[in-house]
A and B are shown apart, each in its own frame.
Chain A
Amino acid sequence: MTEAAFISSPHRHGGATITAVMLRVALALLPGILLYAWYFGIGILIQCVLAACFALALEALLLKLRGRPVGLFLRDGSAVVTGLLLALCIPPTTPWWMVLTGIIFAIAAAKHAFGGIGYNPFNPAMAGFVFVLLCFPREMNSWPAAPGTLETGLGLGDSLRAIFLPGREMVDATSGATALGYMKSRLGLMGMISEIRADPVFGTFGGRGWEWISAGFLAGGIALLVMGIVKWHIPAAMLIALTTVSTGFHLYDADVYASPIFHLFGGATMLGAFFVATDPVSASTTPRGRLIYGALIGTLTYVIRVWGAYPDGIAFAVLLGNAAAPLIDHHTRPRVLGESGSGA
């Protein structure tokens, strides 16, 4: 913002470099990623490494093309976090060239076309994910089957084959649906939630396996809050908005509208609330704006999940929130002293 209030010197640097922040974000993702690998096999680890490598390589190439200092910007680690977030959104058996497509869109089109780190109006990882979701809808919906139902958790060999040599034969264990997707398709067939919940794809409060991965991301997110890397406004507003709206509809008709706990721990809610929506570049920057921005994402997520065509709405909701962020900032930025009341 050009009209930032100037606080007079001396300033002391807080020691927070982008590298340190990004390293801690990656570390905070770790519990969720490890639980993911525990429940659904080693594929996600391969996916994370692959996406992070693609992201780093592409970032380096684009920095070189743009004549920017490659080493300096590469070490900030933002490309790695973008790669990790994209890998966590796509199914663990996604073929490598779809991952590459997503990374190219994320880093080249959503980030560097707008000026690189600090200027991207949309979250690069979510833009990349939505791009591959729209390009390859079938592959983006073949999730590993719930743990305990089939022979799940692909081993190293099968995972490598699915990612690098796709199309030979699709393994049966990769043709599942997520709890959100299953809920949506069964509700479309007039099923009642009490019956739907009996399916083994559901665990105690969310999707089987997924609920604990969400809990892992929640733990990592709380660690980020404690470390002061993420401010509480966005995650709190987003989760409270989602809880409020889903509680309202759940109380209205519990057979058609799933419980708030299911929405909180189903899909990418926790990942989105703590790691995606809080991206400081594409989020709103004023405290009041952050509350509005978070609440907007939470509400839109519910609307897209329940009435839209896509099972999970986090990525779309975050992009819509990003689009609204400049407008929210415009109306919530503190008035400069002496500025007239109506001009803002």
Chain B
Amino acid sequence: MSDLLLIFISASLVNNLVLHHLIGVGAGVGLSRKIDVAAGMSLVTAVALTVATPVTWVVSHAVLRASGLAYLELLAFVLVIIVVVMSGAAVLARLRPDWHDRYRDFVPLVLGNSAVLGVVLLNAGQHFGFAGSLFYGLGAAAGFGLVVILVAALHERLLVADVPRPFQGAAALLMALGILSMAFMGFTGLTRL
């Protein structure tokens, strides 16, 4: 159990997706101008990550590596992500149409989000097992959501700041992300993964 907790902390804080691996920076920074939009976006991404990571682990270990087709992993992972996200949206549309309407706009964004494919590939390079993969996906999702929401709140404040012309817009946001990344380095050593 404590191993799984360490995987979660490592994926969310120590080796944060956006701040450590620099994956999903565009989605995290570019799309988040409002906190509720950022929250919706990270919620949909979180669900996609949490489901896709263990599913790709099964596909990779039970199907591809068992039959010597490991070189097809990248292609298979992209397909799995598309299937997971689209079927998730379809299930949601059947069960809770009101939720589906609220989150429908985020689905293409998640499909094209490098964060999902990035986490799945990073996980494939580790040896976490099925439960570990589940917690890795969960942790990466939590870390992604945390950064996206923090940056969105920061963005609202930067919009009214007297930022010098060369730094306006994405530049100031990336600078803030850089300092946030420095702050997250304080978590170094919490886990040895």
Q: Which residues of A are in contact with B by a Cβ distance under 8 Å?
A: 2, 66, 109-110, 112-116, 118-119, 121-122, 127, 130-131, 134, 300, 303-304, 307-310, 313, 315-317, 319-320, 322-324, 326-327, 329-330
Contacts and interface: CB of A to CB of B under 8 A. Distances in A.
Contact of A303 (B157, B163, B180, B190): B190
B185 A113 contact: no
B164 A115 contact: yes
Contact of A114 (B150, B167, B186): B167
Contacts of A329: 153
Contacts of A316: 183, 185-187
B154 A326 contact: yes
Contacts of A116: 162
A110 B161 CA distance: 13
B176 A130 contact: no
Given A2-B160, A304-B186, A319-B183, A113 B154 contact: no
B161 A115 contact: yes
Interface string B152-193: 011011101111100100011001100110111111111000
B150 A327 contact: yes
Contacts of B187: 304, 308, 316
* Residue with the highest number of chain B CB atoms closer than 10 Å, among A66, A131, A316: A316
B161 A114 contact: yes
* Residue with the highest number of chain A CB atoms closer than 10 Å, among B171, B172, B185: B185
Given A114-B163, A330-B35, A121 B157 contact: yes
A121 B184 CA distance: 16
Interface residues of B, number: 29
B150 A330 contact: no
A89 B162 CA distance: 29
B6 to A, nearest CB: 11
B17 interface: no
A122 B189 contact: no
B185 A110 contact: no
Nearest to A113: B167
A118 B35 CA distance: 22
A327 B164 contact: no
B70 to A, nearest CB: 35
Nearest to B172: A114
A36 B176 CA distance: 33
Given A316-B186, A320-B183, A114 B149 contact: no
11 contacts: A112-B164, A114-B176, A118-B162, A121-B157, A308-B186, A308-B188, A308-B190, A316-B183, A326-B150, A326-B157, A327-B149
B33 to A, nearest CB: 13
A317 B185 CA distance: 11
Contact of A115 (B156, B163, B190): B163
B121 to A, nearest CB: 27
The 10 A-B residue pairs with the shortest CB-CB distance, nearest first, are A316-B186, A309-B189, A319-B183, A326-B153, A115-B162, A119-B161, A327-B153, A115-B161, A309-B188, A308-B189
B188 A310 contact: yes
A249 B130 CA distance: 33
A257 to B, nearest CB: 16
Nearest to A306: B190
Contacts of B158: 114, 119, 121
A326 B164 contact: no
Contacts of B154: 121, 323, 326
A244 to B, nearest CB: 20
Contacts of A110: 179
A269 B132 CA distance: 37
Contact of A119 (B153, B162, B171): B162
Given A118-B162, A121-B157, A329-B153, 13 more contacts: A110-B179, A113-B164, A121-B179, A130-B186, A304-B187, A308-B189, A310-B189, A319-B182, A320-B186, A326-B150, A326-B154, A330-B35, A330-B153
A127 B187 CA distance: 16
B156 A323 contact: no
Contacts of A324: 150
A118 B187 CA distance: 28
A324 B176 CA distance: 12
A323 B180 contact: yes
A326 B35 CA distance: 10
Given A119-B162, A324-B150, A326-B157, A113 B186 contact: no
* Residue with the highest number of chain B CB atoms closer than 10 Å, among A109, A121, A309: A121
A113 B150 contact: no
